[in-house]
Amino acid sequence: MKASSSPKARAKGATVAVPIVQGSIAFWLGPEADEWHSHRWTAYIRGSRNEDLSYFIRYVEFHLHESFHPSKRVVTRPPFELTETGWGEFDLIMRIFFVDNLENPVELIHPLRLFPHPPKEQSAEEPVVSEFYEELVFQDPPEELLAILRMGPQRTVDTELQKYFLDFTCQEAQDLEKIKNARDMIRSKVLGLNERSREIDEERRQIEEEINRLSKMV
Amino acid sequence: MTQSLYNFSEGVETEDSVRNITREGRGTRSPIYGRDWTLLANSVSVFPSVPLGLYTDRPISHWNWKASPNTTREDKLELFHWSRSDKEEEDWISNFNKSAKILKYTDSEYEVVCQEANNDSSWSREETDLLFQLCEKYNLRFTVIYDRWPDERRSLEDLKNRYYSIARKLAEIRKFEPSAKNSVLFKQAQALIANPFDADYERRRKDQLEKAFQLSKKELDKEESTVREARQIEADRKRRAKERQRIQKLLAKGGDIRHPASVRLVHSIEYPSNQKEQSSNRHRHPQVGNASLSDKYDRKGNFPRRRYHPGVFERSSIIYTPISHSQRNIRRMEGFLEELGVGLRPMPTATVVEEFASLRLDILNYFEAEKALVRKEWDLHNLKVKLSKLRGEEPPPVPAILAESSRKQEDTVVTTSHRKRRKRL
């Protein structure tokens, strides 16, 4: 309401990136479970270090598969997680609304995973964890929001699923390493192509000379 | 009708007879009877429960077979029908007896009309008089008038044209006012002025109908199949447009649909026009130097970069933005990324996203270089064939690498020509 009464100014030129993690954890409920409720899963948005994100997130809308009633769930308090039981995998939509009304919500699509990949024997103790690191990039955020974002999280939030969360601290370096290797490999491949290209040029020159010689003789 | 009423009062044994009776009964007399009989028949109650006062002692009305009054006819023709005795007979036949209002010209008007309305001078005054007489007699039923017409040369359209052009002119020069007295005339005059008779159109219309009627079975089938094909094409076009929209939405995925700028971003990525390149290179020797093998794509134009605009977005959306237009390239790229161990979605931090984009550009350039090399190989092979001919030797076999790529190239040729064809449609 405040936003509509006094137009807030955007902080020109400012860019803030906030790391978050979108994920889902699914427990198999064992062989005796109801076939329609074979798994209990939790989808969530969390801070990359389990920090409390409610300092800039007002609420999160979870849009489930149509077979769930209601298919839209709103979570207004941290931790922003939603637990359900079901039997199938689908693409979950998580829409994040920010404390500042001026900022449009962001929509994340999360593929819910219930079964281990690659396929193996399910066990009730070992959950299927599917997490994606994500960064929310705020360009020219409203002044107030910028101040909030700069201040950062005030506390962490504890949940019982915490022990299954993945650690992304080394991932960036690993991914960069992989990309670097891949680029090197591509570069060497291109070099190989260039090598062959030069060979062809040489061979071609010789053949053209030969053809010229032969056609003159005829 | 009366018969069914009597049946009705005789009582009911079976359900079938109830249905029959009620069906007829409904149309004939008060519908209450029919409704309640159905109710009775379908319910299980043995004792009929009927609201008091439904059946009264009122006598059934009588129906008489008698002639109906007919005031409009002059020949005193009497038409008989069944009518209720307690109702006053009204002259309902005359409602159907409408006659057309035919405008008639005076001598002086005829002069004007003749000069202006119809430039067809072949009509004499006598003929026109006859036409108007017949029009009045047969109430503008032109088919009948045409049948009675003495002159073989006049066609139905000629007659119509003559009558309507004169009537139209008369309506114009007389200037009817919308008063109560001649409101019908006024309406008629307005209609005449608003819808001039187009004899030529009428002739063509009839010609076309005639032709359609004369079509043989084979021709008819052909025409039908053409129409079907046209519909199919139209449906395909719509489906493609829908698909395109869907893809555009997908490209702008990730909540960015709300930001027009980012949608523009996806489309503003400039993609290299491979087709143009190919067609210009096809007929002459590809002058591909070492340098140009791999620097076709630079980071200027064709690079998924987000245009700067206020708002919030998720960094991974840049990773998902395709870097090439060609579906084949995209698929190959995905395979490559998996093969190289990078995967389709590295951790979307600023540096990784930047590096990942560079990697994808490198791969795209590699594809391009590969293509250029294949062209060179073909060129070389063709020269070798030429040389062996000059020497009178057996032509060398196609190298394995080319045999494989030629299949692929054929593939692309097919798809591009297919695409062109679809564009034409």
* Mean pLDDT on B321-346: 84
The pLDDT of residue A9: 80
Residues whose CB falls within 8 Å of the CB of residue B293, separated by 6 or more in sequence, listed in order: A190, A193, A194, A197, B368, B369, B372, B373
Which segment of B137-141, B190-194, B202-206, B280-284 scores lowest on mean pLDDT? B280-284
Give yes or no for a contact between A29 and A83, defined as CB atoms under 8 angstroms apart: no
pLDDT band at B285 (very low <50, low <70, confident <90, very high): very low
Cα–Cα distances (Å) from B168 to B105, B175, B184, B189, in that order, read 11, 11, 15, 7
Long-range contacts made by residues B64-71, C-beta under 8 angstroms, separation at least 24? B68/B92, B68/B93, B69/B93, B70/B94
The pLDDT of residue B118: 53
Cross-strand bridge partners of residue A132: A22
Indicate whether B251 pLDDT > 70. no
Q: Are residues A79 and A150 in the same domain?
A: yes
- Name the phi and psi angles at B326, rounded to 5: -75, 125
Q: State what percent of residues in chain B have pLDDT above 70.
A: 64
Dist. CA A169–CA A48, nearest whole Å: 9
Q: Are residues A28 and A87 in the same domain?
A: yes
Q: Are residues A161 and A178 in the same domain?
A: no
Return the structure tokens found at B205.
Answer: 């219309």
Q: Are residues A16 and A100 in the same domain?
A: yes
The pLDDT of residue B210: 92
Dist. CA B106–CA B128, nearest whole Å: 12
Interface of B with A in 318-357 (CB under 8 A): 337, 340-342, 345-352, 355-356
Dist. CA B335–CA B1, nearest whole Å: 83
Q: Are residues A157 and A175 in the same domain?
A: no
CA B302 to chain CA centroid, nearest Å:
41
pLDDT band at B249 (very low <50, low <70, confident <90, very high): low
Go through the domains of chain B in sequence order and give each one's CATH number: 63-95 (no CATH), 107-210 (1.10.10.60), 273-424 (no CATH)
**Per-residue model confidence as pLDDT tens for chain A (218 residues):** 444 434 568 888 788 889 999 999 999 988 888 888 999 999 999 998 888 999 999 999 999 998 888 889 999 998 899 999 999 899 999 999 999 888 889 999 999 999 887 788 877 778 999 999 999 988 888 888 888 888 888 888 888 888 889 888 888 899 999 999 999 999 999 999 989 989 998 998 999 898 888 888 76
Residue A190 with chain B: CB contacts under 8 Å: 293-294, 362, 365-366, 369
Q: Are residues A179 and A160 in the same domain?
A: no
The pLDDT of residue B42: 56
Q: Are residues A122 and A217 in the same domain?
A: no
Indicate whether B260 pLDDT > 70. no
The pLDDT of residue B230: 94
* Nearest CB to B312; choose among A106, A180, A185: A106
More confident residue, B30 or B229: B229
The pLDDT of residue B48: 61
Dist. CA A79–CA A158, nearest whole Å: 8
Domain boundaries, position A39? 2-165
H/E stretch holding B80: strand B79-84
pLDDT band at B307 (very low <50, low <70, confident <90, very high): low
* Mean pLDDT on B101-107: 81
pLDDT band at B350 (very low <50, low <70, confident <90, very high): confident
Indicate whether B24 pLDDT > 50. no
Residues whose CB falls within 8 Å of the CB of residue B184, separated by 6 or more in sequence, listed in order: B101
Residue B258 with chain A: CB contacts under 8 Å: 104
The secondary structure of B134-187 as a DSSP string is HHHHTTT-HHHHHHH-S-SS--HHHHHHHHHHHHHHHHHHHT----STTHHHHH
Q: Would you call B315 an interface residue with chain A, using a CB distance cutoff of 8 Å?
A: yes
Q: Is it true that the peptide bond before B260 is cis, omega within 30 degrees of 0?
A: no
Give yes or no for a contact between B318 and B348, defined as CB atoms under 8 angstroms apart: yes
Q: Are residues A79 and A187 in the same domain?
A: no
Q: Are residues A144 and A177 in the same domain?
A: no
**CA end-to-end span of chain A:** 93
Query: What ipTM is given for this predicted complex?
Result: 0.86
Count: domains in chain A: 2
* Nearest CB to B348; choose among A133, A208, A211: A133
Q: Are residues A32 and A139 in the same domain?
A: yes
Dist. CA B292–CA B369, nearest whole Å: 8
The pLDDT of residue B2: 38
DSSP B4: H
Identify the burial level of B197 via C-beta atoms within 10 angstroms of its C-beta, where 0-12 means exposed, 13-18 middle and 19 or more buried: middle
**pLDDT tens-digit readout, A25-69:** 999 988 888 888 999 999 999 998 888 999 999 999 999 998 888
pTM: 0.50
pLDDT band at B95 (very low <50, low <70, confident <90, very high): confident
Strand order in the sheet with B311-314: A80-86, A39-47, A15-28, A128-139, B311-314
Q: Would you call B258 an interface residue with chain A, using a CB distance cutoff of 8 Å?
A: yes
Residue A9 with chain B: CB contacts under 8 Å: none
* Nearest CB to B311; choose among A104, A180, A215: A104
The pLDDT of residue B112: 77
Computed on alpha carbons and rounded to an integer, the radius of gyration of chain B in Å comes to 43
More confident residue, B14 or A90: A90
- Three-state DSSP state, A74: strand
Indicate whether B273 pLDDT > 50. no
Could you tell me the CATH number of the domain that includes residue A113? 2.60.40.1970
Indicate whether B287 pLDDT > 60. no
The secondary structure of B266-315 as a DSSP string is HHHSPPP-HHHHHHHHHSS-----TGGGT-S--SSSSS--PPP-SEEEET
DSSP A10: B
Return the structure tokens found at A179.
Answer: 């990309």
Which segment of B44-53, B118-127, B170-179, B352-361 scores lowest on mean pLDDT? B44-53
Q: Any idea what the Cα angle at residue A113 is, between residues A110 and A119, rounded to 5°?
A: 145
What sign results for the dihedral spanned by CA atoms B221, B222, B223, B227? Answer: positive
The pLDDT of residue B247: 64
Q: Return the residue of B nearest to A176 by Cα.
A: B352
Pick the closest to residue B169 from B101, B100, B111, B121 (CA basis). Answer: B111
Strand runs (DSSP E) across A29-105, as ranges? 39-47, 57-63, 72-75, 80-86, 91-98
* Nearest CB to A179; choose among B359, B369, B383: B359
Pick the closest to residue A97 from A133, A134, A61 (CA basis). Answer: A61
Q: Are residues A134 and A200 in the same domain?
A: no
- Three-state DSSP state, B85: coil
Residues whose CB falls within 8 Å of the CB of residue A11, separated by 6 or more in sequence, listed in order: A140, A141, A142, A143, A146
The pLDDT of residue B7: 40
Q: Are residues A153 and A180 in the same domain?
A: no
Which segment of A102-111, A125-134, B139-148, B306-315 scores lowest on mean pLDDT? B306-315
